[in-house]
Structure 1
């Protein structure tokens, strides 16, 4: 039976969530928060508590209707998860137009209202605002305003701008019902080969901490409230120092190492996040090696979650595991094992118990509350242990105002998401984030900015865009100059199936055939090279022979050409150093910043004109 709005004898209107015809304390926004939490907790069954401890992916149909597992991505039926498994935390995989997302969200909340206690759903998302020419990444972005990636925000190095971004993104998220950001990443890019550097704020702990704190303030505000989006900072205690730069999504990258004995350095941005009031924390998959703590993945690690996070830092917010610590799954027809590094031999129930014993509240990417129910009924975990986490999770829903007004306005979603002001702010940030690495001076002065309408040979620039700035020609021989857009090199994955294709890892240098092709263009005509740095590329030959060298962290062709022609000035400085060779990369210590021998360009380098 759906929720009805009833009135008390004195005319106070309330939502009768448990359908009992009277006003319960948890239904009354006038009641203090902790009283509401305890009243609802006291009414919950074991099954309802267990459902609260899981957060997994959810899909929607493009027309805004609920997916029952028959969409383009394999997810469980919405009705099965909400009505039978009693889950109410979900990570939305992808979306449609803003109106359809809002309508889907309202349908989902209506379904949740039909459960016994009417506990509302909380929707989370991975980042959706970074500009990308990658179809897989841009599919996530949808209609949201497009900004540079976090590396680009770090390159601009303006906390006020980052806070402004967070506030705009918050408005877009709340308009469609998204209330938890599974970001920012406070990890440090001290291992230049690591595949997830593009989600960080670089390798400097001080700059990263300032950016992380500003990001959180923008999303959450001074305190969590009905207008907030809660941030889940990740990946505690810092996921950057990966052995050989491999990623622990995969078994071959599970080891996290500290050859420079620099563990505490990686905690500094998280300390800034705690000071900013971050609401939630996600530990990473990595298994620490060579430290005086248990060598198991951080999500299973009591030394890290309880002793360090809960006790030393007194963090009493929500801790949610990274996705998929318990169960093996199939992805695109290929097996994808649970990321249970160091405890692979344990059963699913034993893994779940170890996660809870470590001090974690919620299982990310999992949908098996029956495992927790069995652990309690068999006496392996007391129900009181569940209550500790359930209180935290309920408290967050109340603070976000979901019990009092869970629905959104589809008309407002259309007006707010991707509106002209937000898009303009993101487009300007794309331009500001460019780093001018080199600007050679010739007989006529510096190469940049360009003027007039030169004849341009282009690679990886849309001809229809370039033709509005100059005359596009077919060969370098015909051109006054060339503009090449490149991407930082990477190598094919070592394994890991379909998902591994989205992780750019391995060597950072251009190999012989591709390098020769690029240098051939550079030898024929003065060439402006723009390189997308999702990792610190090794490119000494390109730097030497280019007429101008730019770096971007997610920017459109129009943004590039506006900077090249001086219509908008770039302001970026490097958020990490660029190594001079792969030999120097291999000599670096994965946990130590700024330790590349004779870097090609140092941290903080950036020219202007």
Structure 2
């Protein structure tokens, strides 16, 4: 510090109230020092303090600014210090400490810097645990397990000095053509909200000393045509009921520490410039008290993409006036705030308010008292973490079809098993786009040799002599950089750009060998699906959107040839979106949807295929029959499936669906009361679930509700409660549900959540289509009720043995 010990200011006193410390420090700061807190820097850090500027990334238009200039007045955040390049975690912490030392000891006021990293599927740095994808989290329907994942990721993040994690993704899936579908928690807002709350609670811990970041606020997944960054066309009622609900839940119930706006515009207003969203709704209506941080280059896009700002200074003014606190990942626009201030486009009071929120967060995190991390206490991979990753993979695989007794495999038998397909022996096929090896794949440095593949796991289980392997085809023969990142990076002459077909392999030369392998075997297991990769370096992931739900490349031809061989065929699909099988769904023996099951996914899949464990995963999103059936979600309004119902629309496998190696029976539905008051009522019902099969299993019970008459068109059904019910063979349990009347709400023309009196259908089932029990409850009252801010958002489910 440059201050003498005898002049220790109030803001340095850890016993003083946070607001007093914020006021004292803010009063001492120059405009330059305040602005420095409102942006990040994306640098390649070095433990000797010779940090390098990044000059080749999409988010650094001001490449001519030196590192010294960026850091001279302090800094709000440092962007992904360990997750930007391959660095040993301990060395990365030493480099981060070197930067922190510069901030604390060499700047005038000694304000520490916050560090953020990606952490959606594990801490996105070298050597950290590689968890399954968020679709896997959702497919477990297990909030407690998702919270455990968050807790482990949070512990790993703290060990490297990370203060903010850029997760979870709360975008409610609406179009599986969108590449970022793999990052979502599915298509139901309630399921997304519940799982998000548990992830946030796990990540942040009891003391919220690590910030979760809710993204992308809001409606990002409803983009036009499923195209990344495209405009969103939804009305205010749907926006609130579907897309904003999970954010509201995570803010109010989980005390989320940060929110990230989305790239797109809604009805012409970019989210990064939408004061109604960021200030009026988020802060004033919901009571959010954390940081609003920009999505990478989102502020710059107001100028370069949306063209609602004339230059970088105007873009910064728009965003910070709307309620932004920190520009990420760099400083492109925030450094021009003084120019905007001089032009009268922003006030110093607005800059002060944002700077105060940043400082308040740093005080709350304890950064001033503990700015450094201990390199010797880095812990980013452990056996316990791997076991939880394995459990998620095990509980999330969904059995969609199982005919003829092919599964489980006969482990003790002598028949050969053909293991076929481009994803059978590719560890990258098990990983989602925000895992470290995939995210940095174009750097060519990432090793995945330690990750077992399905082929290796099946050989270990069945023996080498029983397994015949044939790759059959590639999805991508050679990984390389894909498309430009942002629409503003290219000219509007789209014919000048490379075709997606140049990346995806069309080579059918290996199919004959795959057919030969199948003919030698008693069963063929064909592994197909996706390869995650950013901006079309893969077939799914951020910027890797598609116009088809057909399997990428020649995988369909491979599968058809294997099925035609006559050998019973099991399809295992991995990846980030549901694909069709081109009409082969009724000809295959079995089908499994495994999504991206992470570093121990192969082990989990082998165990499930062999019957060592039972399938308990359920679909968190529907599987549309074709791209022409999109958008399709289970909670649609009437006529969404065509007029009256078009055969080629709809879905084959619906939201909530999944089979098991055992069977379950539902019965004895009972309502505690057939009428409940609108003011504070709770609907109470119970029913019995029985395992009628010969082995243990877990059923995912689901409660759906339909409003019979409303002042606004309502969905055909909506999920309102769910629970995992583990049962031994022959055992049964009574499931009791308490559903607050508040959860029957929808948004009215004023933008308020209301509940109306009337009759509601209650439907209990094993999926959104397979509904086994039903009854009607009446909500009594004389008029609609407007919900208060802290309305009851979650149902209560108890399993009684």
- TM-score (norm: length of structure 1): 0.84
Deviations 1:186-238 (CA, angstroms, capped at 9, x unpaired) = 110022222211111101011101001111111112442xxx21011011123
1:273 deviates by 0.7
Query: Is the counterpart of residue 553 in structure 1 residue 586 in structure 2?
Result: no
Q: CA RMSD in A?
A: 3.2
Match of 1:37 in 2: 22
- Matched-pair contact (CA < 8 Å) for 2:43–2:52: no
Q: Which stretch shifts more, 268-277 or 378-387?
A: 378-387
- Tell me how far apart the structure 2 counterparts of residues 326 and 520 of structure 1 sit (CA, whole Å): 50
Match of 2:766 in 1: none
- Tell me how far apart the structure 1 counterparts of residues 69 and 177 of structure 2 sit (CA, whole Å): 39
Match of 2:702 in 1: none
- Matched-pair contact (CA < 8 Å) for 2:532–2:538: no
- Tell me how far apart the structure 2 counterparts of residues 566 and 402 of structure 1 sit (CA, whole Å): 50
Match of 2:219 in 1: 238
Q: Tell me the matched-pair count.
A: 557
- Tell me how far apart the structure 2 counterparts of residues 259 and 501 of structure 1 sit (CA, whole Å): 25
Query: Is the counterpart of residue 323 in structure 1 residue 311 in structure 2?
Result: no
- Matched-pair contact (CA < 8 Å) for 1:299–1:355: yes
Deviations 1:391-425 (CA, angstroms, capped at 9, x unpaired) = 11111111111110111111210xx2111111111
Query: Is the counterpart of residue 153 in structure 1 residue 118 in structure 2?
Result: no
Query: Is the counterpart of residue 108 in structure 1 residue 69 in structure 2?
Result: no
- Tell me how far apart the structure 2 counterparts of residues 497 and 549 of structure 1 sit (CA, whole Å): 23
Deviations 1:336-360 (CA, angstroms, capped at 9, x unpaired) = x767554356211111111122122
Match of 2:313 in 1: 349
Task: Decide whether aligned partners of structure 1 residues 567 and 73 sit closer, same or farther in structure 2, where only a CA change above 3 A counts.
Answer: farther
* Structure possessing the higher relative contact order (Cα contacts under 8 Å, 6 or more residues apart): 1
Task: Decide whether aligned partners of structure 1 residues 567 and 58 sit closer, same or farther in structure 2, where only a CA change above 3 A counts.
Answer: farther
Query: Is the counterpart of residue 439 in structure 1 residue 402 in structure 2?
Result: yes
Task: Decide whether aligned partners of structure 1 residues 339 and 588 sit closer, same or farther in structure 2, where only a CA change above 3 A counts.
Answer: farther
Q: 2:160 aligns with which of 156, 167, 176?
A: 176
SS of aligned partner of 2:583? helix
Deviations 1:157-214 (CA, angstroms, capped at 9, x unpaired) = 1111111111111100000011101111111002222221111110101110100111
- Tell me how far apart the structure 1 counterparts of residues 639 and 55 of structure 2 sit (CA, whole Å): 46
Match of 1:503 in 2: 544
1:512 deviates by 9.0
- Matched-pair contact (CA < 8 Å) for 1:95–1:142: yes
Aligned pairs for 1:11-90 (under 5 A) are: 18-19=3-4, 21-60=6-45, 67-69=51-53, 79-80=67-68, 83-84=71-72, 86-90=74-78
- Tell me how far apart the structure 1 counterparts of residues 27 and 345 of structure 2 sit (CA, whole Å): 22
Match of 1:543 in 2: 585
Task: Decide whether aligned partners of structure 1 residues 86 and 303 sit closer, same or farther in structure 2, where only a CA change above 3 A counts.
Answer: same
1:438 deviates by 1.0
Task: Decide whether aligned partners of structure 1 residues 398 and 591 sit closer, same or farther in structure 2, where only a CA change above 3 A counts.
Answer: farther
- Matched-pair contact (CA < 8 Å) for 2:40–2:330: yes
Query: Is the counterpart of residue 607 in structure 1 residue 588 in structure 2?
Result: no
SS of aligned partner of 1:486? strand
Match of 1:119 in 2: 111
Task: Decide whether aligned partners of structure 1 residues 84 and 594 sit closer, same or farther in structure 2, where only a CA change above 3 A counts.
Answer: farther
- Tell me how far apart the structure 2 counterparts of residues 323 and 571 of structure 1 sit (CA, whole Å): 37
SS of aligned partner of 1:144? coil
1:366 deviates by 3.1
- Matched-pair contact (CA < 8 Å) for 1:532–1:554: yes
Query: Is the counterpart of residue 484 in structure 1 residue 465 in structure 2?
Result: no
Q: 2:411 aligns with which of 442, 451, 466?
A: 451
State the structure with more CA Rg. 2
Match of 1:427 in 2: 390
Match of 1:386 in 2: 351
- Matched-pair contact (CA < 8 Å) for 2:180–2:542: no
Match of 2:560 in 1: 519
- Tell me how far apart the structure 1 counterparts of residues 324 and 657 of structure 2 sit (CA, whole Å): 40
- Matched-pair contact (CA < 8 Å) for 1:55–1:91: yes
Query: Is the counterpart of residue 167 in structure 1 residue 151 in structure 2?
Result: yes
1:502 deviates by 5.0
Task: Decide whether aligned partners of structure 1 residues 510 and 419 sit closer, same or farther in structure 2, where only a CA change above 3 A counts.
Answer: closer
1:94 deviates by 3.7
Q: 1:562 aligns with which of 607, 626, 631?
A: 607
- Tell me how far apart the structure 2 counterparts of residues 420 and 496 of structure 1 sit (CA, whole Å): 32
- Matched-pair contact (CA < 8 Å) for 2:571–2:591: yes
- Tell me how far apart the structure 1 counterparts of residues 534 and 90 of structure 2 sit (CA, whole Å): 39
- Return 5+ residue gaps in structure 2 as ranges: 426-454, 470-516, 642-648, 662-801
More helix by share: 1
1:283 deviates by 1.1
- Tell me how far apart the structure 1 counterparts of residues 281 and 375 of structure 2 sit (CA, whole Å): 43
- Tell me how far apart the structure 1 counterparts of residues 32 and 534 of structure 2 sit (CA, whole Å): 44
Task: Decide whether aligned partners of structure 1 residues 511 and 209 sit closer, same or farther in structure 2, where only a CA change above 3 A counts.
Answer: closer
Q: 2:176 aligns with which of 184, 189, 192?
A: 192
Query: Is the counterpart of residue 461 in structure 1 residue 424 in structure 2?
Result: yes
Runs of 4+ in structure 1 deviating by more than 6 angstroms, as ranges, are 70-78, 489-493, 495-501, 587-594
- Tell me how far apart the structure 2 counterparts of residues 592 and 84 of structure 1 sit (CA, whole Å): 56
Match of 2:368 in 1: 403
- Tell me how far apart the structure 2 counterparts of residues 79 and 594 of structure 1 sit (CA, whole Å): 58
- Return 5+ residue gaps in structure 1 as ranges: 4-16, 131-137, 290-294, 328-336
- TM-score (norm: length of structure 2): 0.64
- Tell me how far apart the structure 2 counterparts of residues 310 and 110 of structure 1 sit (CA, whole Å): 33
Deviations 1:35-70 (CA, angstroms, capped at 9, x unpaired) = 111111111111111011112433346x89754137
Task: Decide whether aligned partners of structure 1 residues 490 and 125 sit closer, same or farther in structure 2, where only a CA change above 3 A counts.
Answer: closer
Match of 1:203 in 2: 187
- Tell me how far apart the structure 2 counterparts of residues 243 and 605 of structure 1 sit (CA, whole Å): 27
1:315 deviates by 2.4
- Tell me how far apart the structure 2 counterparts of residues 87 and 33 of structure 1 sit (CA, whole Å): 20
